[in-house]
Structure 1
Amino acid sequence: MEALLELFCAPSIPSVNVTELKKANFAQLLEKTMISSSEIMNTGSLRKEVSNYMTNSLNNKSHSVSNTRRTVQQILDAAINTRHNEKEKNVLRWVQFCVDTCLSQQVGATTANNSDQVKPTKKKQEKKKEKEDDDDADSIGYHVIGASDDDYVPSDSIDDDDDQQVPSSPPAKKKTEKDDKKKKPTTTKKKKEEDQPPFIQPNAGAKAVVSYFSSSHPVAASEKNGLASGHFIKSYFFPSKESFNAFTSVLNSAQKTIDVCVFSLTDDDVADVLIAAKKRNVTIRIITDNQQAAGVGADAERLQKDHGIPYKTDHTTGYMHNKFAVVDSKTLINGSFNWSKGARFKNRENIIITNLPYCIQEFQAQFDALWEEF
């Protein structure tokens, strides 16, 4: 009976297009593989090839606990939207593999946290630090492209067969006991940053942003610096987990609008923040460079197609090189930082976050003018 139901009730399943999979981002990879899970699970060579794409795609995502949870949920959501019966069983087998691949990324972090409970010897500390340096380099997931963001190409667009190498960390210098003691506080700080919650809760609004900066960074909101009460301006620099957390926290705070004007948008973690805001009925508009938007791994088109977030591009020979966002018409993010993992992990970048009204009005007016022009 099950075979008859499967035969007469289920439409034909499209064959796997390996070329499409090779160029797909993580969300597209899930969608295409879930639909064709039977073919994948029943073809050993295809399963191996697709599993490599899945692993590479996961390596280009951050592996914080919160992001891993979102990734697992994304996998399960993709599975829910597929079929049932015998094909459902194959889908669930594929989901099991995807989840296992995802969670395996967390094993190393969990092991490292557990090992901290036992005081290591000096020799073990040195080996552990060397391994952490290697792990950090591996987690970057971006190839050396060029010195300028004008040369930046999403890593997803680089052919795996080119066998290019991820930038490795510089050779470790011989450490003295004095050096080892100096490095311990830095290591502790890194672990705290890794697990810290968002600075500002989702949908908290502009008042919560002001409250955070006034309490956590009083100098940034000091009247002694010429700022009126309730106003702030704070600088952040990359690469830094704290800077990225501040950046995403302000985006998360949105209650009504987010206007994004950025040269490159390829970071899936940032895209997830925008998707979550859209689900809260926040109105989002994106302006990006036409050449960057057409690149493999760019998120603007996917956000419009899958989530109804509109975007526009410049359609000029020059670059649309702005990198700013206005949140709820009350908070501005501006600086050199492109919304890409290449910039987040590799580059020396900067942003300022401020609520100075006249400054925000100027940036909002520029965004509206560009939106109308494009």
Structure 2
Amino acid sequence: MRALKFFLLAGAFLLAIEAPKPFLQPQTPVSAPVRVAFGPAPGFDTLDPELIGQARRSIDMAAYVLSDQRVIEALSAAASRGVKIRLYFDAEQFRRIGGMNDNVLALTNQPNVKARIKAEQNDLMHLKAYTVDGRWLRTGSTNFSWSGETRQDNDIIIIDSPQAAEQFARAFEKLWTRRDNRDAAP
């Protein structure tokens, strides 16, 4: 009987050690106001320009695609107000659109704007996310493109949380400081 108890306890212990870890283990649980929008829908395409318009200090944006003129104009206006902006692009998408279009080129040549491109690899930089002033985090499936914001089935999630923004900021910093990145400015 003792031997049976020993083997059962030993088996339970081994199962506990080898049990899969939970998939999501947030560093800091976040409880914050969240706005979730699904598009296409009326007003869906105004969410990004409106949030960018709130910026007073900084925007860090990881943009798989950046071609929506309204988003580019909102970023340009923010830079003109003195907002420090860092843009991080996917190399494949950047190359696919022939490098920077004139609007993105004008944006990246503004004071207060820095832009980098992920090194050419097989792996995409597929994020469509940014932080504003270390307070808001915008994420979701929506590219910063006209079709992504007006024609495709997508979502935008805006979280009003310095903790969530900080989690993204740490991930963004790792992307931004990769040694094999290249500057986007010509």
How high is the TM-score relative to the length of structure 1? Answer: 0.37
Q: Residues of 2 paired with 1:278 and 1:240: CA distance?
A: 29
Q: Residues of 2 paired with 1:257 and 1:363: CA distance?
A: 14
**Counterpart of 1:318?**
123
**Does the aligned pair in 2 maintain the 1:262–1:288 contact within 8 Å?**
yes
**Counterpart of 2:171?**
366
**Does the aligned pair in 2 maintain the 1:293–1:301 contact within 8 Å?**
no
Q: Residues of 2 paired with 1:304 and 1:245: CA distance?
A: 22
**Is 1:235 aligned with 2:32?**
no
Q: Residues of 2 paired with 1:345 and 1:242: CA distance?
A: 9
Q: Residues of 1 paired with 2:130 and 2:118: CA distance?
A: 17
Q: Identity of counterpart residues, as a percentage? A: 25
**Counterpart of 2:62?**
261
User: After TM superposition, where is structure 1 displaced by more than 6 Å over at least 4 residues in a row?
Assistant: none
Offset at 1:349?
A: 0.7
**Is 1:289 aligned with 2:93?**
no
Q: Residues of 2 paired with 1:240 and 1:274: CA distance?
A: 23
Q: Which structure carries more strand by proportion?
A: 2
Any idea what the Cα deviations from partners look like across 1:90-116, whole Å, max 9, x if unmatched? Answer: xxxxxxxxxxxxxxxxxxxxxxxxxxx
- Note the aligned Cα RMSD (angstroms): 2.0
Tell me which structure has the larger Cα radius of gyration. 1
**Counterpart of 2:150?**
345
Any idea what the Cα deviations from partners look like across 1:147-183, whole Å, max 9, x if unmatched? Answer: xxxxxxxxxxxxxxxxxxxxxxxxxxxxxxxxxxxxx
Q: Residues of 1 paired with 2:122 and 2:105: CA distance?
A: 20
Offset at 1:252?
A: 0.4
**Does the aligned pair in 1 maintain the 2:64–2:143 contact within 8 Å?**
yes
**Does the aligned pair in 1 maintain the 2:61–2:129 contact within 8 Å?**
yes
Offset at 1:372?
A: 0.8
Offset at 1:303?
A: 1.7
3-state DSSP class of the match of 1:301?
helix
Matched to 2:46, the amino acid is: N
**Counterpart of 1:303?**
107
Offset at 1:311?
A: 0.7
Q: Residues of 2 paired with 1:291 and 1:302: CA distance?
A: 21
Offset at 1:245?
A: 2.0
Stretches of structure 2 lacking an aligned partner (at least 5 in a row): 1-29, 182-186
**Does the aligned pair in 1 maintain the 2:44–2:149 contact within 8 Å?**
no
3-state DSSP class of the match of 2:177?
helix
Any idea what the Cα deviations from partners look like across 1:171-208, whole Å, max 9, x if unmatched? Answer: xxxxxxxxxxxxxxxxxxxxxxxxxxxxxxxxxxxxxx
**Does the aligned pair in 2 maintain the 1:286–1:300 contact within 8 Å?**
no
Matched to 1:367, the amino acid is: F
**Does the aligned pair in 1 maintain the 2:39–2:153 contact within 8 Å?**
yes
Offset at 1:355?
A: 1.6
Offset at 1:275?
A: 0.6
Offset at 1:327?
A: 0.1
3-state DSSP class of the match of 1:317?
coil
3-state DSSP class of the match of 1:241?
coil
Offset at 1:247?
A: 2.4
Offset at 1:369?
A: 1.2
Offset at 1:320?
A: 0.7
Stretches of structure 1 lacking an aligned partner (at least 5 in a row): 1-226
Q: Give the structure, 1 or 2, with the largest relative contact order (CA under 8 Å, sep 6 or more).
A: 2
Matched to 1:285, the amino acid is: R
Q: Residues of 2 paired with 1:334 and 1:365: CA distance?
A: 15
Q: Residues of 2 paired with 1:355 and 1:344: CA distance?
A: 21
**Counterpart of 2:138?**
333
**Does the aligned pair in 1 maintain the 2:48–2:71 contact within 8 Å?**
no
Q: Residues of 1 paired with 2:46 and 2:67: CA distance?
A: 17
Any idea what the Cα deviations from partners look like across 1:21-54, whole Å, max 9, x if unmatched? Answer: xxxxxxxxxxxxxxxxxxxxxxxxxxxxxxxxxx
Matched to 1:334, the amino acid is: T
